[in-house]
């Protein structure tokens, strides 16, 4: 049975951010956006009002989802904060941690600095932490953690440091799973401990994550009652 999320407003961020160095070069990462898009699609199928803030990705907009395209972390922050208030925020985007302090307005010449080049970088705003600590805080704030080592410890650290309700952790660097892949293996960390969502297609893991989101909201008295009339997801 698929539980309904009708009546809930859910904001999802997905994909990478690109931080411009000059008009032709940028700092990016390997996020495909597939996990966040799968979550947005599944939430819309369950009747939620979904706003998807998407970094630069090559994915079609899921049915019933409202989409805002952004490029940089600063733009993503602006779009996410403008989308509030919401009942749930799911930060699935791989936001760049650093951005060039002074992006060049003209293409940088490789001859200008000799054999080496130093980039002056500054931290980007932590969108997830800002959403979780502001006055219009969604009832449920969910973050992601992609790690190559010490998964549980890092996830618990982020849960605490960013003041979020759930951290969805995945091990990256595993062949066929994580960044760019269609499959993933996820564990959710929250105040109660950890819940393994298992491994499988991102479309299926998105459904399991939304079941947890629904259960958590219901416990807090904020979720619609289960609605057995919603058809199950079509498998990708």
Among 95, 82, 70, 90, residue whose Cα is nearest residue 136: 82
Q: Which is nearer to ligand C5P, 39 or 145 (CB)?
A: 145
Is the separation of the CB atoms in 171 and 117 below 8 Å?
no
Structure tokens at 51: 């706003």
Output the smallest distance, CB 230 to ligand C5P, in A: 27
**Would you count residue 91 as binding ligand C5P (CB under 6 A)?**
yes
Segment near ligand C5P (CB under 6 A), from 44-52, 87-95, 112-120, 195-203? 87-95
- Applying CB under 6 A, the span of 2-10, 102-110, 124-132, 183-191 interacting with ligand C5P comes to 124-132
Question: Which residues 125-184 are close enough to bind ligand C5P by CB under 6 A?
Answer: 125-128, 143-145, 158
Which of the residues 92 through 111 are near ligand C5P (CB under 6 A)? Answer: 93, 95, 97
Interface segment toward ligand C5P; rule CB under 6 A; list 53-61, 81-89, 120-128, 227-235 = 120-128
CB of residue 147 to ligand C5P, shortest distance in Å: 8
Nearer residue to ligand C5P within complex by CB, 21 or 166: 166
Q: How far is the CB of 73 from ligand C5P (least distance, A)?
A: 5
Query: How many whole angstroms from its chain centre is CA 74?
Result: 15
Residue among 21, 35, 38, 73 that touches ligand C5P (CB under 6 A): 73
Rounded to whole angstroms, the Cα distance separating 102 from 121 reads 8
Return the CA Rg of the chain: 18
Residue 227 annotated in active site: no
In 3D, which of 45, 60, 58, 48 has the Cα closest to residue 90?
A: 48
Q: Which residues pair with 199 in a beta bridge?
A: 185
Closest approach of Cβ 150 to ligand C5P, in Å?
12
Which of 99, 124, 187, 204 touches ligand C5P by CB under 6 A? Answer: 124
Task: Quote the tokens at residue 111.
Answer: 């001859």
Query: What tokens were used for 3?
Result: 């539980």
7-46 mask for ligand C5P (x: CB under 6 A)? Answer: ------x---------------------------------
DSSP states of 89-139 as a string? EEE--B--SEEESS--SSPPPTTTTTT-----EEEPP-HHHHHHHSTT--S
45/76 Cα distance (integer angstroms): 24
Tokens of 113: 């600095």
Q: Which residues bind ligand C5P (CB under 6 A)?
A: 13, 73, 91, 93, 95, 97, 124-128, 143-145, 158
As annotated, the active-site residues are 29
């Amino acid at each position: 049975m698929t539980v309904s999320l009708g009546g809930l407003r859910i904001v999802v961020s997905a994909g990478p951010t690109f931080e411009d160095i000059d008009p032709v070069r940028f700092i990016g990462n390997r996020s495909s956006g597939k996990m966040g898009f799968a979550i947005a699609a599944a939430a819309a199928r369950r009747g939620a009002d979904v706003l998807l803030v998407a970094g630069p990705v090559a994915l079609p907009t899921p049915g019933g989802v409202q989409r805002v395209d952004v490029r940089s972390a600063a733009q993503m922050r602006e779009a996410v904060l403008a989308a509030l208030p919401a009942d749930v925020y799911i930060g699935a985007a791989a936001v760049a941690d650093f951005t060039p302090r002074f992006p060049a307005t003209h293409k940088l010449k490789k001859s200008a600095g000799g054999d080496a080049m130093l980039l002056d970088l500054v931290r980007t705003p932590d969108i997830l932490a800002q959403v979780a600590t502001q006055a219009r805080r969604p009832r449920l704030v969910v973050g992601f953690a992609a790690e190559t080592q010490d998964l549980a410890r890092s996830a618990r650290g982020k849960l605490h440091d960013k003041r979020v309700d759930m951290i969805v952790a995945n091990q990256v660097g595993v062949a066929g799973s994580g960044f760019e892949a269609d499959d993933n293996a996820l564990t959710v960390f929250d105040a109660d401990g950890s819940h393994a969502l298992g491994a499988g297609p991102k479309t299926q893991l998105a459904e399991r994550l939304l079941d947890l989101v629904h259960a958590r909201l219901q416990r807090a008295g904020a979720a619609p009652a289960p609605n057995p009339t919603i058809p199950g997801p079509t498998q990708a």
